[in-house]
């Protein structure tokens, strides 16, 4: 049986929805979610950041901030489809975000997740990889645009061979990042968000597979997988602080492709 079929059976339970709806103080909406089959992305993400320098900038930050408000033209939700490639999608997505935010690119350019998946030999293609390596690959090797190397693994579920030319046969031109930093703690993340979006690991529990909207807080079930996401902002609603986080399941999932998760609390 395919893994997607197993997940469809495992996380397609109305009884769980009813259990969640009846938990007092719920801050998010649960429902059977047709996108849960793609939440399988990156089962094998390793979280080590010890190869990255520390981000130490201390600044005064506002009470709420979001790049969706400040630079919406610089952010985009993508869909990794049937390839377990949230690591590549968020590493490349953050690179695209931040080149636009920093005006290295005049407008947002989509860089190639496919090239990252196919050519990064240390990570695991459609099966996850190492969180730090996801961004170090772009710094050390560079990456072309998605116009040059388009995304194909979302339909095949396979990483494919590393291309030597663009899809149209022209020369591949690689763009490298200048640097990446490890960010720790709530205030550190807020400070880093003043510079751009922040790429990170997110532990997925069973109840998150039923997320529709609202401020997610783990209420039920065991860990089922891990995904890579990008933090794009933070805020507070009715006394509940939250992070704003981008997934890679397309814009029809969650809150237009994003979700909010409780901030500073377990």
**Sequence ranges of the domains in the chain:** 3-262
Q: What is the pLDDT of residues 200-228, one digit of tens each?
A: 999 999 999 999 999 999 999 999 888 99
Contact 130, 199 (CB under 8 A): no
Q: How many other C-beta atoms lie within 10 A of the C-beta of residue 171?
A: 9
Closest CA to 117 of 81, 75, 86: 86
Helices (H) and strands (E) in the chain, counts: 8, 7
Q: Is the pLDDT of residue 129 over 90?
A: no
Q: What is the pLDDT of residues 228-263, one digit of tens each?
A: 999 999 999 999 999 999 999 999 999 999 999 999
Q: What is the pLDDT of residues 3-61, one digit of tens each?
A: 343 344 566 788 889 999 999 999 999 998 766 655 554 445 555 555 566 666 677 88
pLDDT at 183: 85
What is the value of pTM for the model shown?
Answer: 0.90
* Domain 3-262: CATH architecture, name and number where available: Alpha-Beta Complex (3.90)
DSSP calls for 27-89: -EEE---TTGGGGG--TT-B---TTSPBP-------S-EEHHHH-GGG----B-TTSB-HHHH
């Amino acid at each position: 049986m395919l893994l997607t079929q197993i997940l469809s059976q495992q996380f397609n339970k109305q009884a769980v929805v009813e259990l969640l709806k009846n938990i007092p103080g719920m801050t998010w909406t649960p429902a059977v979610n047709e996108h849960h089959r793609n939440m399988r992305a990156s089962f094998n993400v390793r979280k080590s950041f010890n190869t990255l320098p520390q981000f130490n900038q201390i600044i005064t930050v506002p009470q709420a901030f979001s790049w969706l408000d400040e630079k919406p033209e610089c952010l985009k939700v993508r869909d990794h489809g049937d390839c377990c490639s949230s690591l590549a999608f968020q590493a490349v997505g953050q690179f695209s975000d931040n080149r636009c935010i920093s005006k290295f690119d005049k407008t947002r350019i989509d860089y190639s997740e496919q090239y990252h998946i196919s050519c990064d030999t240390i990570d695991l293609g459609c099966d996850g990889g190492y969180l730090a390596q996801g961004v170090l690959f772009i710094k050390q090797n560079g990456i072309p645009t998605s116009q040059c190397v388009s995304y194909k693994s979302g339909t095949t579920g396979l990483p494919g061979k590393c291309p030597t030319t663009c899809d149209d046969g022209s020369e591949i031109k690689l763009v490298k990042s200048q640097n990446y930093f490890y960010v720790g703690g709530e205030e550190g993340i807020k400070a880093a968000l003043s510079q751009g979006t922040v790429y990170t690991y997110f532990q997925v529990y069973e109840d998150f597979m039923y997320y529709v909207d609202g401020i997610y807080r783990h209420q039920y079930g065991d860990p089922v997988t891990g995904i890579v996401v990008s933090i794009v902002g933070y805020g507070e609603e009715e006394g509940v602080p939250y992070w704003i986080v981008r997934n890679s399941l397309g814009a029809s999932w969650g809150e237009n492709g994003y979700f909010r998760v409780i901030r500073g609390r377990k």
